[in-house]
Structure 1
Amino acid sequence: MGVPIEISDADITAYEQDGVVCLRGVFSTEWIDLMRGAVEDAMAAPGPFAEDYADPASGGRFFGDLDVWKRHAAFRKFVLESPAAEVAGGIMRSGTSTFFYDQLLVKEGGTAERTPWHQDQPYWAVSGRQVASLWVPFDPVPKDVSVEYVAGSHLWQAHNPYHFSDGTPYEGTDLPPLPEIEGNRGDYRILSFALEPGDCLVFQAMVVHGAPGNPYKSRRRALATRWLGDDARVFKRKGEVAIPTTDPGFAHGERYRGEDYPTVWRSY
Protein backbone atom coordinates (compact mmCIF):
# COMPACT_ATOMS: atom_id res chain seq x y z
CA MET A 1 0.00 0.00 0.00
CA GLY A 2 3.00 2.26 -0.29
CA VAL A 3 4.20 4.81 -2.82
CA PRO A 4 7.75 6.20 -3.06
CA ILE A 5 8.30 8.94 -0.48
CA GLU A 6 9.90 11.98 -2.05
CA ILE A 7 10.64 14.96 0.19
CA SER A 8 12.56 17.75 -1.49
CA ASP A 9 14.79 20.41 0.02
CA ALA A 10 12.14 22.92 -1.06
CA ASP A 11 9.51 21.04 0.98
CA ILE A 12 11.68 21.17 4.09
CA THR A 13 12.51 24.84 3.51
CA ALA A 14 8.80 25.71 3.19
CA TYR A 15 8.05 23.87 6.44
CA GLU A 16 10.89 25.58 8.28
CA GLN A 17 10.03 29.07 6.99
CA ASP A 18 6.22 28.96 7.03
CA GLY A 19 5.48 26.25 9.61
CA VAL A 20 3.48 24.20 7.08
CA VAL A 21 4.04 22.39 3.80
CA CYS A 22 1.61 20.66 1.44
CA LEU A 23 2.78 17.33 0.00
CA ARG A 24 1.00 15.81 -2.98
CA GLY A 25 0.16 12.18 -3.62
CA VAL A 26 1.78 10.74 -0.50
CA PHE A 27 -0.94 8.23 0.37
CA SER A 28 -2.10 5.59 -2.11
CA THR A 29 -5.74 4.99 -3.04
CA GLU A 30 -5.58 1.79 -0.96
CA TRP A 31 -4.87 3.80 2.16
CA ILE A 32 -7.61 6.31 1.37
CA ASP A 33 -10.20 3.61 0.69
CA LEU A 34 -9.27 1.76 3.89
CA MET A 35 -9.59 4.91 5.99
CA ARG A 36 -12.88 6.05 4.48
CA GLY A 37 -14.53 2.88 5.73
CA ALA A 38 -12.67 3.13 9.03
CA VAL A 39 -14.01 6.64 9.63
CA GLU A 40 -17.58 5.37 9.42
CA ASP A 41 -16.78 2.57 11.88
CA ALA A 42 -15.15 5.03 14.29
CA MET A 43 -18.06 7.47 14.17
CA ALA A 44 -20.48 4.62 14.86
CA ALA A 45 -18.48 3.62 17.95
CA PRO A 46 -17.01 6.84 19.40
CA GLY A 47 -14.49 6.79 22.21
CA PRO A 48 -14.56 8.47 25.63
CA PHE A 49 -13.05 11.70 24.28
CA ALA A 50 -15.33 12.05 21.26
CA GLU A 51 -16.90 15.48 20.95
CA ASP A 52 -19.15 17.52 18.69
CA TYR A 53 -17.35 20.83 18.30
CA ALA A 54 -20.11 22.70 16.48
CA ASP A 55 -23.11 24.30 18.11
CA PRO A 56 -26.10 22.25 16.89
CA ALA A 57 -28.04 25.48 16.45
CA SER A 58 -25.54 26.65 13.83
CA GLY A 59 -26.32 23.74 11.51
CA GLY A 60 -24.22 20.81 10.37
CA ARG A 61 -21.88 18.74 12.50
CA PHE A 62 -18.20 18.90 13.39
CA PHE A 63 -17.19 15.59 14.99
CA GLY A 64 -13.86 14.89 16.64
CA ASP A 65 -12.37 11.92 18.46
CA LEU A 66 -8.97 11.15 20.02
CA ASP A 67 -6.80 8.05 20.35
CA VAL A 68 -8.85 6.27 17.71
CA TRP A 69 -5.92 3.98 16.89
CA LYS A 70 -6.30 2.31 20.27
CA ARG A 71 -9.81 1.05 19.39
CA HIS A 72 -9.95 0.56 15.62
CA ALA A 73 -7.57 -1.72 13.73
CA ALA A 74 -7.53 0.32 10.51
CA PHE A 75 -6.39 3.44 12.35
CA ARG A 76 -3.68 1.43 14.07
CA LYS A 77 -2.55 0.06 10.72
CA PHE A 78 -2.43 3.60 9.32
CA VAL A 79 -0.28 4.81 12.22
CA LEU A 80 2.16 1.91 12.15
CA GLU A 81 2.37 1.06 8.43
CA SER A 82 1.44 4.11 6.32
CA PRO A 83 4.03 6.65 5.09
CA ALA A 84 3.00 9.12 7.84
CA ALA A 85 5.88 8.43 10.24
CA GLU A 86 8.55 8.58 7.53
CA VAL A 87 7.12 11.80 6.09
CA ALA A 88 7.02 13.45 9.52
CA GLY A 89 10.58 12.42 10.32
CA GLY A 90 11.90 13.63 6.99
CA ILE A 91 10.18 17.01 7.15
CA MET A 92 11.29 17.54 10.79
CA ARG A 93 14.91 16.57 9.91
CA SER A 94 14.64 13.99 12.68
CA GLY A 95 16.26 10.59 12.82
CA THR A 96 13.14 9.13 14.42
CA SER A 97 9.37 9.55 14.41
CA THR A 98 7.57 8.64 17.62
CA PHE A 99 3.79 8.52 17.49
CA PHE A 100 2.04 10.83 19.97
CA TYR A 101 -1.71 10.54 19.29
CA ASP A 102 -4.32 10.71 16.53
CA GLN A 103 -7.36 12.91 16.09
CA LEU A 104 -10.25 12.21 13.73
CA LEU A 105 -11.95 15.37 12.41
CA VAL A 106 -15.14 15.20 10.35
CA LYS A 107 -16.74 18.46 9.26
CA GLU A 108 -20.00 17.55 7.58
CA GLY A 109 -21.47 19.47 4.68
CA GLY A 110 -23.48 22.50 5.75
CA THR A 111 -21.44 23.10 8.91
CA ALA A 112 -21.10 26.83 9.55
CA GLU A 113 -18.80 26.48 12.56
CA ARG A 114 -15.20 27.60 12.13
CA THR A 115 -12.28 25.77 13.66
CA PRO A 116 -10.94 28.67 15.74
CA TRP A 117 -7.37 29.96 15.45
CA HIS A 118 -4.99 28.20 17.83
CA GLN A 119 -1.56 26.66 18.35
CA ASP A 120 -1.47 22.93 19.10
CA GLN A 121 1.58 22.52 21.30
CA PRO A 122 0.37 24.64 24.25
CA TYR A 123 -2.41 22.04 24.66
CA TRP A 124 0.15 19.26 24.96
CA ALA A 125 2.62 18.13 27.63
CA VAL A 126 5.54 18.14 25.22
CA SER A 127 8.53 20.40 24.49
CA GLY A 128 10.80 20.57 21.47
CA ARG A 129 10.85 21.96 17.95
CA GLN A 130 10.64 18.56 16.26
CA VAL A 131 6.93 18.18 16.92
CA ALA A 132 4.61 17.99 13.92
CA SER A 133 1.19 16.95 12.65
CA LEU A 134 0.16 15.26 9.43
CA TRP A 135 -3.35 16.26 8.33
CA VAL A 136 -4.61 13.73 5.80
CA PRO A 137 -7.97 14.31 4.04
CA PHE A 138 -10.09 11.42 2.78
CA ASP A 139 -12.27 13.70 0.63
CA PRO A 140 -11.44 16.50 -1.84
CA VAL A 141 -11.03 19.75 0.10
CA PRO A 142 -11.57 23.03 -1.78
CA LYS A 143 -9.17 25.80 -0.83
CA ASP A 144 -11.91 27.91 0.73
CA VAL A 145 -12.76 25.22 3.31
CA SER A 146 -9.22 23.97 3.90
CA VAL A 147 -7.14 24.50 7.02
CA GLU A 148 -5.54 27.97 7.15
CA TYR A 149 -2.12 28.78 8.60
CA VAL A 150 -0.51 32.03 9.70
CA ALA A 151 2.82 31.74 7.91
CA GLY A 152 5.80 32.03 10.23
CA SER A 153 3.73 31.92 13.42
CA HIS A 154 5.48 28.71 14.50
CA LEU A 155 8.23 31.08 15.65
CA TRP A 156 5.88 32.98 17.97
CA GLN A 157 5.80 32.38 21.70
CA ALA A 158 3.23 30.03 23.19
CA HIS A 159 -0.26 31.46 23.72
CA ASN A 160 -2.99 30.33 26.06
CA PRO A 161 -5.18 27.47 24.79
CA TYR A 162 -8.94 27.62 25.10
CA HIS A 163 -11.78 25.15 24.97
CA PHE A 164 -13.31 24.83 21.50
CA SER A 165 -16.70 23.94 22.95
CA ASP A 166 -17.33 27.26 24.70
CA GLY A 167 -14.29 29.48 24.04
CA THR A 168 -13.21 29.64 27.68
CA PRO A 169 -9.44 29.93 28.26
CA TYR A 170 -7.40 27.23 29.94
CA GLU A 171 -6.78 28.02 33.59
CA GLY A 172 -3.49 28.57 35.36
CA THR A 173 -1.15 28.51 32.34
CA ASP A 174 0.16 32.10 32.71
CA LEU A 175 0.29 32.27 28.90
CA PRO A 176 -0.94 35.38 27.02
CA PRO A 177 -4.03 35.21 24.82
CA LEU A 178 -3.62 34.73 21.09
CA PRO A 179 -3.85 37.95 19.04
CA GLU A 180 -7.13 38.63 17.25
CA ILE A 181 -6.46 37.16 13.82
CA GLU A 182 -9.83 36.68 12.13
CA GLY A 183 -10.73 40.35 12.41
CA ASN A 184 -7.29 41.42 11.20
CA ARG A 185 -6.59 38.92 8.43
CA GLY A 186 -4.88 41.56 6.29
CA ASP A 187 -2.12 41.87 8.87
CA TYR A 188 -0.97 38.29 8.32
CA ARG A 189 0.18 36.05 5.48
CA ILE A 190 -2.42 33.29 5.61
CA LEU A 191 -1.81 30.07 3.70
CA SER A 192 -4.31 27.43 2.63
CA PHE A 193 -4.27 24.64 0.07
CA ALA A 194 -6.80 22.82 -2.08
CA LEU A 195 -6.31 19.12 -1.38
CA GLU A 196 -7.14 15.81 -3.00
CA PRO A 197 -7.24 12.43 -1.24
CA GLY A 198 -3.64 11.24 -1.09
CA ASP A 199 -2.26 14.72 -0.32
CA CYS A 200 -1.33 15.81 3.18
CA LEU A 201 -0.38 18.88 5.17
CA VAL A 202 2.60 18.69 7.51
CA PHE A 203 2.69 21.47 10.08
CA GLN A 204 4.81 22.40 13.06
CA ALA A 205 2.97 22.18 16.37
CA MET A 206 3.39 25.87 17.23
CA VAL A 207 2.00 27.27 13.97
CA VAL A 208 -1.26 29.20 14.39
CA HIS A 209 -4.04 27.61 12.36
CA GLY A 210 -7.80 27.38 12.03
CA ALA A 211 -10.36 26.46 9.37
CA PRO A 212 -13.52 27.87 7.82
CA GLY A 213 -16.88 26.20 8.00
CA ASN A 214 -17.99 23.81 5.28
CA PRO A 215 -20.89 25.28 3.30
CA TYR A 216 -20.81 22.56 0.63
CA LYS A 217 -22.82 19.35 0.51
CA SER A 218 -19.65 17.26 0.53
CA ARG A 219 -18.00 16.03 3.74
CA ARG A 220 -14.55 16.91 4.98
CA ARG A 221 -13.18 13.76 6.64
CA ALA A 222 -9.58 13.97 7.83
CA LEU A 223 -7.16 12.35 10.25
CA ALA A 224 -4.47 14.28 12.07
CA THR A 225 -1.60 12.15 13.37
CA ARG A 226 0.88 13.81 15.74
CA TRP A 227 4.59 12.98 15.69
CA LEU A 228 7.56 13.58 17.99
CA GLY A 229 11.13 13.88 16.73
CA ASP A 230 14.51 13.54 18.36
CA ASP A 231 14.34 16.66 20.55
CA ALA A 232 10.78 16.16 21.87
CA ARG A 233 10.46 15.60 25.60
CA VAL A 234 7.79 15.34 28.27
CA PHE A 235 6.98 18.85 29.48
CA LYS A 236 5.06 19.28 32.72
CA ARG A 237 3.14 22.42 31.85
CA LYS A 238 1.65 24.79 34.37
CA GLY A 239 -2.14 24.80 34.47
CA GLU A 240 -4.54 22.82 32.29
CA VAL A 241 -3.20 20.32 29.76
CA ALA A 242 -5.33 18.40 27.26
CA ILE A 243 -2.89 15.82 25.86
CA PRO A 244 -2.03 13.15 26.90
CA THR A 245 -5.59 12.46 27.97
CA THR A 246 -4.28 10.30 30.83
CA ASP A 247 -1.00 10.68 32.71
CA PRO A 248 1.53 8.21 31.26
CA GLY A 249 3.68 8.48 34.38
CA PHE A 250 6.79 9.94 32.74
CA ALA A 251 9.00 12.49 34.46
CA HIS A 252 9.60 15.98 33.09
CA GLY A 253 12.32 15.81 30.44
CA GLU A 254 11.89 12.13 29.61
CA ARG A 255 11.12 10.84 26.14
CA TYR A 256 7.70 9.53 25.30
CA ARG A 257 8.07 5.78 24.78
CA GLY A 258 6.39 2.41 25.20
CA GLU A 259 3.45 0.75 23.53
CA ASP A 260 1.30 3.89 23.66
CA TYR A 261 4.08 6.02 22.10
CA PRO A 262 5.87 3.76 19.63
CA THR A 263 8.87 4.89 17.63
CA VAL A 264 7.45 3.96 14.24
CA TRP A 265 10.26 5.11 11.95
CA ARG A 266 14.04 5.47 12.12
CA SER A 267 16.37 6.77 9.46
CA TYR A 268 19.15 4.48 10.65
Structure 2
Amino acid sequence: MLTTQEQRDAFSNDGAVLIRNCLDETQLAQCYEAFKWNVANPGPYVFRKLDGTKLQTHIDNANPAVKGRYDDLVTTLPLARIFQELWGSEHVWYFAEEIFAKEGGSSGRGPWHQDTANLPWAGPHWGNAWITFQSIPKKNSLEIIRGSHRGIQYDGSTFANPDDPTEPLHRDGTYPRLPHIDKDLAEDPNSWDVMSWPVTPGDVLFLHPRSLHGGAAVDAECPTRHTLVLRFFGDDARFRCLPESNPRYARTGPLFKEEMAKLNEGDLFRSPVFRQLA
Protein backbone atom coordinates (compact mmCIF):
# COMPACT_ATOMS: atom_id res chain seq x y z
CA MET A 1 0.00 0.00 0.00
CA LEU A 2 1.07 3.60 -0.57
CA THR A 3 -0.35 4.85 2.76
CA THR A 4 0.06 3.89 6.39
CA GLN A 5 -2.76 3.18 8.83
CA GLU A 6 -1.80 6.39 10.65
CA GLN A 7 -2.26 8.39 7.45
CA ARG A 8 -5.59 6.75 6.70
CA ASP A 9 -6.80 7.47 10.22
CA ALA A 10 -5.65 11.09 9.97
CA PHE A 11 -7.59 11.68 6.77
CA SER A 12 -10.71 10.04 8.20
CA ASN A 13 -10.60 11.77 11.59
CA ASP A 14 -8.89 15.10 10.87
CA GLY A 15 -9.97 15.68 7.26
CA ALA A 16 -6.45 16.15 5.93
CA VAL A 17 -3.05 14.49 5.81
CA LEU A 18 0.28 15.52 4.29
CA ILE A 19 2.15 12.78 2.42
CA ARG A 20 5.76 13.71 1.84
CA ASN A 21 7.72 12.85 -1.34
CA CYS A 22 4.49 11.76 -3.01
CA LEU A 23 5.45 12.94 -6.51
CA ASP A 24 8.81 12.44 -8.20
CA GLU A 25 10.59 15.15 -10.20
CA THR A 26 9.08 14.06 -13.54
CA GLN A 27 5.54 13.92 -12.18
CA LEU A 28 5.94 17.30 -10.49
CA ALA A 29 7.32 18.86 -13.69
CA GLN A 30 4.36 17.52 -15.68
CA CYS A 31 1.94 18.99 -13.14
CA TYR A 32 3.74 22.37 -13.27
CA GLU A 33 3.62 22.50 -17.06
CA ALA A 34 -0.14 21.93 -16.96
CA PHE A 35 -0.48 24.59 -14.24
CA LYS A 36 1.48 27.19 -16.25
CA TRP A 37 -0.63 26.50 -19.35
CA ASN A 38 -3.74 27.07 -17.24
CA VAL A 39 -2.48 30.43 -16.00
CA ALA A 40 -1.61 31.55 -19.52
CA ASN A 41 -4.94 30.38 -20.93
CA PRO A 42 -7.73 31.23 -18.45
CA GLY A 43 -10.99 29.34 -18.72
CA PRO A 44 -14.60 30.50 -18.42
CA TYR A 45 -14.59 30.07 -14.63
CA VAL A 46 -11.52 32.20 -13.87
CA PHE A 47 -12.11 34.26 -10.71
CA ARG A 48 -11.00 37.91 -10.69
CA LYS A 49 -13.22 39.57 -8.07
CA LEU A 50 -10.26 40.18 -5.78
CA ASP A 51 -8.05 41.87 -8.39
CA GLY A 52 -6.70 45.13 -7.05
CA THR A 53 -7.31 44.18 -3.41
CA LYS A 54 -5.00 42.84 -0.72
CA LEU A 55 -6.34 39.34 -1.46
CA GLN A 56 -5.57 39.35 -5.20
CA THR A 57 -5.08 35.77 -6.41
CA HIS A 58 -5.39 34.13 -9.82
CA ILE A 59 -7.99 31.37 -9.33
CA ASP A 60 -9.36 29.13 -12.06
CA ASN A 61 -11.51 25.98 -12.09
CA ALA A 62 -12.27 23.16 -14.51
CA ASN A 63 -10.96 24.83 -17.66
CA PRO A 64 -12.56 22.82 -20.50
CA ALA A 65 -9.66 23.65 -22.84
CA VAL A 66 -7.27 21.63 -20.67
CA LYS A 67 -9.62 18.86 -19.52
CA GLY A 68 -8.14 16.18 -21.77
CA ARG A 69 -4.62 16.99 -20.63
CA TYR A 70 -5.50 16.60 -16.96
CA ASP A 71 -7.59 13.49 -17.61
CA ASP A 72 -4.46 11.91 -19.09
CA LEU A 73 -2.07 13.37 -16.51
CA VAL A 74 -3.87 11.91 -13.49
CA THR A 75 -3.50 8.40 -14.92
CA THR A 76 0.29 8.76 -14.48
CA LEU A 77 0.15 9.97 -10.86
CA PRO A 78 -0.29 7.96 -7.62
CA LEU A 79 -3.04 10.26 -6.32
CA ALA A 80 -6.05 8.15 -7.28
CA ARG A 81 -4.58 5.06 -5.67
CA ILE A 82 -3.77 7.01 -2.52
CA PHE A 83 -7.34 8.31 -2.29
CA GLN A 84 -8.58 4.77 -2.89
CA GLU A 85 -6.68 3.73 0.23
CA LEU A 86 -7.57 6.81 2.30
CA TRP A 87 -11.28 6.30 1.61
CA GLY A 88 -11.43 2.52 1.42
CA SER A 89 -13.17 2.92 -1.94
CA GLU A 90 -13.11 0.33 -4.71
CA HIS A 91 -13.43 2.92 -7.46
CA VAL A 92 -12.00 6.40 -8.05
CA TRP A 93 -12.96 9.10 -10.54
CA TYR A 94 -11.22 12.36 -11.41
CA PHE A 95 -13.37 15.51 -11.18
CA ALA A 96 -11.30 18.51 -12.34
CA GLU A 97 -8.51 20.92 -11.45
CA GLU A 98 -8.36 24.17 -9.54
CA ILE A 99 -5.38 26.51 -9.66
CA PHE A 100 -4.14 29.32 -7.43
CA ALA A 101 -1.34 31.74 -8.28
CA LYS A 102 -0.20 34.14 -5.57
CA GLU A 103 2.73 36.29 -6.63
CA GLY A 104 4.71 39.41 -5.80
CA GLY A 105 4.77 38.80 -2.06
CA SER A 106 1.67 40.93 -1.54
CA SER A 107 -1.40 38.68 -1.74
CA GLY A 108 -3.19 38.21 1.56
CA ARG A 109 -4.59 34.95 2.87
CA GLY A 110 -7.57 33.34 1.22
CA PRO A 111 -10.79 33.36 3.27
CA TRP A 112 -11.76 30.31 5.29
CA HIS A 113 -14.35 28.23 3.47
CA GLN A 114 -15.67 24.76 2.62
CA ASP A 115 -15.71 23.75 -1.04
CA THR A 116 -19.02 22.00 -0.43
CA ALA A 117 -20.74 25.36 0.07
CA ASN A 118 -20.48 26.12 -3.66
CA LEU A 119 -20.21 22.64 -5.18
CA PRO A 120 -22.98 19.99 -4.97
CA TRP A 121 -20.96 17.38 -3.12
CA ALA A 122 -21.80 15.10 -0.19
CA GLY A 123 -20.35 11.94 1.30
CA PRO A 124 -16.99 10.81 2.66
CA HIS A 125 -15.38 9.88 -0.66
CA TRP A 126 -14.27 13.31 -1.84
CA GLY A 127 -10.72 14.58 -1.89
CA ASN A 128 -8.50 17.43 -3.03
CA ALA A 129 -4.83 16.76 -3.76
CA TRP A 130 -3.09 20.08 -2.97
CA ILE A 131 0.23 20.41 -4.84
CA THR A 132 2.58 23.37 -4.58
CA PHE A 133 5.64 24.01 -6.72
CA GLN A 134 7.61 26.14 -4.25
CA SER A 135 8.88 25.38 -0.76
CA ILE A 136 6.24 26.86 1.53
CA PRO A 137 6.90 27.61 5.22
CA LYS A 138 4.18 26.66 7.67
CA LYS A 139 3.13 30.30 8.11
CA ASN A 140 2.41 30.55 4.37
CA SER A 141 0.81 27.14 3.96
CA LEU A 142 -2.78 25.97 3.69
CA GLU A 143 -4.56 25.80 7.04
CA ILE A 144 -7.32 23.36 7.97
CA ILE A 145 -9.65 23.15 10.97
CA ARG A 146 -9.19 19.66 12.35
CA GLY A 147 -12.28 17.46 12.05
CA SER A 148 -14.45 20.17 10.46
CA HIS A 149 -15.34 17.92 7.51
CA ARG A 150 -17.60 16.08 9.97
CA GLY A 151 -19.10 19.23 11.45
CA ILE A 152 -21.40 22.07 10.40
CA GLN A 153 -21.96 22.90 6.74
CA TYR A 154 -21.62 26.68 6.66
CA ASP A 155 -22.67 29.13 3.97
CA GLY A 156 -19.90 29.95 1.52
CA SER A 157 -17.94 33.15 1.19
CA THR A 158 -18.45 35.46 -1.77
CA PHE A 159 -14.66 35.91 -1.86
CA ALA A 160 -15.49 39.40 -3.08
CA ASN A 161 -15.24 41.48 0.11
CA PRO A 162 -11.68 41.84 1.40
CA ASP A 163 -13.02 43.53 4.53
CA ASP A 164 -15.45 40.72 5.41
CA PRO A 165 -14.32 37.18 4.53
CA THR A 166 -17.61 35.80 5.91
CA GLU A 167 -19.87 37.69 3.48
CA PRO A 168 -22.35 34.90 2.64
CA LEU A 169 -22.63 33.28 -0.77
CA HIS A 170 -26.25 32.08 -0.63
CA ARG A 171 -27.71 34.51 1.93
CA ASP A 172 -30.99 32.59 2.33
CA GLY A 173 -30.44 31.00 5.74
CA THR A 174 -30.08 27.45 4.42
CA TYR A 175 -26.64 27.30 6.02
CA PRO A 176 -25.33 29.29 8.99
CA ARG A 177 -22.93 32.12 8.23
CA LEU A 178 -19.23 31.33 8.30
CA PRO A 179 -17.54 32.13 11.62
CA HIS A 180 -14.84 34.79 11.45
CA ILE A 181 -12.06 32.34 12.26
CA ASP A 182 -9.18 34.80 11.83
CA LYS A 183 -10.80 37.23 14.27
CA ASP A 184 -11.46 34.41 16.75
CA LEU A 185 -7.85 33.22 16.54
CA ALA A 186 -6.52 36.76 17.03
CA GLU A 187 -8.52 36.99 20.26
CA ASP A 188 -7.82 33.42 21.39
CA PRO A 189 -5.19 31.32 19.57
CA ASN A 190 -6.82 28.18 21.00
CA SER A 191 -10.34 28.95 19.79
CA TRP A 192 -9.94 26.71 16.71
CA ASP A 193 -7.82 23.60 16.21
CA VAL A 194 -5.76 24.63 13.17
CA MET A 195 -3.56 22.19 11.24
CA SER A 196 -0.85 23.22 8.77
CA TRP A 197 2.52 21.98 7.59
CA PRO A 198 5.59 23.29 5.81
CA VAL A 199 5.47 21.88 2.30
CA THR A 200 8.28 21.13 -0.13
CA PRO A 201 7.86 20.32 -3.84
CA GLY A 202 6.84 16.69 -4.19
CA ASP A 203 4.78 16.69 -1.00
CA VAL A 204 1.00 16.46 -1.48
CA LEU A 205 -1.65 17.55 1.00
CA PHE A 206 -4.76 15.34 0.82
CA LEU A 207 -7.83 17.23 2.01
CA HIS A 208 -11.54 16.47 2.33
CA PRO A 209 -13.21 19.46 0.61
CA ARG A 210 -15.83 19.87 3.34
CA SER A 211 -13.03 20.76 5.75
CA LEU A 212 -12.86 24.41 6.71
CA HIS A 213 -9.65 25.61 5.10
CA GLY A 214 -7.95 28.84 4.10
CA GLY A 215 -4.71 29.90 2.48
CA ALA A 216 -2.13 31.95 4.34
CA ALA A 217 -0.64 35.01 2.69
CA VAL A 218 2.52 35.29 0.64
CA ASP A 219 5.10 37.80 1.84
CA ALA A 220 8.66 38.99 1.27
CA GLU A 221 10.09 35.74 2.62
CA CYS A 222 7.69 33.60 0.56
CA PRO A 223 6.70 35.82 -2.38
CA THR A 224 5.23 33.16 -4.69
CA ARG A 225 2.84 30.30 -4.15
CA HIS A 226 1.69 28.38 -7.20
CA THR A 227 -0.79 25.66 -6.29
CA LEU A 228 -2.51 23.00 -8.35
CA VAL A 229 -5.45 21.20 -6.77
CA LEU A 230 -6.62 17.96 -8.38
CA ARG A 231 -10.03 16.77 -7.20
CA PHE A 232 -11.24 13.17 -6.98
CA PHE A 233 -14.26 11.21 -5.76
CA GLY A 234 -15.04 7.60 -4.91
CA ASP A 235 -17.84 5.09 -4.39
CA ASP A 236 -19.64 6.95 -1.59
CA ALA A 237 -19.78 10.37 -3.25
CA ARG A 238 -23.23 11.83 -3.69
CA PHE A 239 -24.98 14.78 -5.29
CA ARG A 240 -26.36 17.41 -2.92
CA CYS A 241 -28.60 20.19 -4.22
CA LEU A 242 -27.35 23.69 -3.44
CA PRO A 243 -29.69 26.53 -2.45
CA GLU A 244 -31.54 28.29 -5.27
CA SER A 245 -30.96 31.83 -4.00
CA ASN A 246 -27.73 32.64 -5.88
CA PRO A 247 -28.32 32.22 -9.63
CA ARG A 248 -24.67 31.36 -10.37
CA TYR A 249 -24.67 28.48 -7.89
CA ALA A 250 -28.35 27.47 -7.85
CA ARG A 251 -28.83 23.73 -7.33
CA THR A 252 -25.88 22.45 -9.38
CA GLY A 253 -23.01 24.86 -8.74
CA PRO A 254 -21.23 26.55 -11.66
CA LEU A 255 -19.23 23.56 -12.99
CA PHE A 256 -20.50 20.83 -15.34
CA LYS A 257 -24.00 22.28 -15.04
CA GLU A 258 -25.48 20.23 -17.88
CA GLU A 259 -24.25 16.97 -16.36
CA MET A 260 -25.22 17.97 -12.82
CA ALA A 261 -28.77 18.83 -13.92
CA LYS A 262 -29.34 15.11 -14.54
CA LEU A 263 -28.68 14.23 -10.88
CA ASN A 264 -31.13 14.39 -7.99
CA GLU A 265 -30.62 14.88 -4.26
CA GLY A 266 -28.76 11.92 -2.78
CA ASP A 267 -27.89 10.30 -6.11
CA LEU A 268 -24.50 8.67 -6.44
CA PHE A 269 -22.21 11.25 -8.02
CA ARG A 270 -21.67 9.78 -11.47
CA SER A 271 -21.34 11.05 -15.03
CA PRO A 272 -19.45 9.82 -18.08
CA VAL A 273 -17.76 13.24 -18.25
CA PHE A 274 -15.50 12.22 -15.34
CA ARG A 275 -12.54 9.92 -16.03
CA GLN A 276 -12.67 6.69 -14.04
CA LEU A 277 -9.23 5.73 -12.73
CA ALA A 278 -9.97 2.60 -10.69
How far apart, in 2, do the equivalents of 1:175 and 1:206 lie? 13
**Which residue of structure 2 aligns with residue 209 of structure 1?**
213
Which one-letter code corresponds to 1:212 in the other structure? A
Cα deviation digits, residues 192-223 of structure 1 (max 9, x gap): 11111111111112211101110035421111
How far apart, in 2, do the equivalents of 1:152 and 1:254 lie? 25
Question: What is the aligned residue count?
Answer: 260
**Which residue of structure 1 aligns with residue 115 of structure 2?**
120
Mapping 1:133-148, distance limit 5 Å: 133-148=128-143
> How far is 1:72 from its partner?
5.9
> How far is 1:107 from its partner?
1.2
> How far is 1:38 from its partner?
2.5
Asked if 1:51 is matched to 2:47, the reply is yes
**Which residue of structure 2 aligns with residue 233 of structure 1?**
238
Asked if 1:246 is matched to 2:246, the reply is no
How far apart, in 1, do the equivalents of 2:256 and 2:224 lie? 27
Provide the identity percentage: 23
Which one-letter code corresponds to 2:206 in the other structure? V
How far apart, in 1, do the equivalents of 2:139 and 2:119 lie? 28
How far apart, in 2, do the equivalents of 1:173 and 1:184 lie? 22
Which one-letter code corresponds to 1:198 in the other structure? G
Aligned 8 A contact 1:64 1:105 in 2: yes
* Change in 2 beyond 3 A, CA 1:101/1:86: same
How far apart, in 1, do the equivalents of 2:24 and 2:64 lie? 19
Aligned 8 A contact 2:62 2:255 in 1: no
> How far is 1:145 from its partner?
0.5
> How far is 1:110 from its partner?
1.3
* Change in 2 beyond 3 A, CA 1:88/1:111: farther
Any unmatched runs of 5+ in structure 1? none
**Which residue of structure 2 aligns with residue 38 of structure 1?**
34
Which one-letter code corresponds to 1:66 in the other structure? N
**Which residue of structure 2 aligns with residue 257 of structure 1?**
270
Which one-letter code corresponds to 1:251 in the other structure? L
**Which residue of structure 2 aligns with residue 178 of structure 1?**
178
How far apart, in 2, do the equivalents of 1:254 and 1:140 lie? 40
**Which residue of structure 1 aligns with residue 58 of structure 2?**
63
Cα deviation digits, residues 139-178 of structure 1 (max 9, x gap): 2111111000111211212110121123542223611012
Greater CA drift, 170-179 or 124-133: 170-179
**Which residue of structure 2 aligns with residue 79 of structure 1?**
74
**Which residue of structure 2 aligns with residue 169 of structure 1?**
168
* Change in 2 beyond 3 A, CA 1:78/1:141: farther
User: Given the alignment, which residue of 89, 97, 120 partners 1:102?
Assistant: 97
Q: TM-score, normalised by structure 1?
A: 0.88
How far apart, in 2, do the equivalents of 1:207 and 1:101 lie? 18
* Change in 2 beyond 3 A, CA 1:139/1:76: farther
Q: TM-score, normalised by structure 2?
A: 0.85
Aligned 8 A contact 2:111 2:157 in 1: no
* Change in 2 beyond 3 A, CA 1:46/1:134: same
Greater CA drift, 63-72 or 119-128: 63-72
Name the one with the larger strand percent.
Answer: 1
- SS of match in other structure, 1:263: coil
> How far is 1:68 from its partner?
3.4
How far apart, in 1, do the equivalents of 2:150 and 2:47 lie? 30
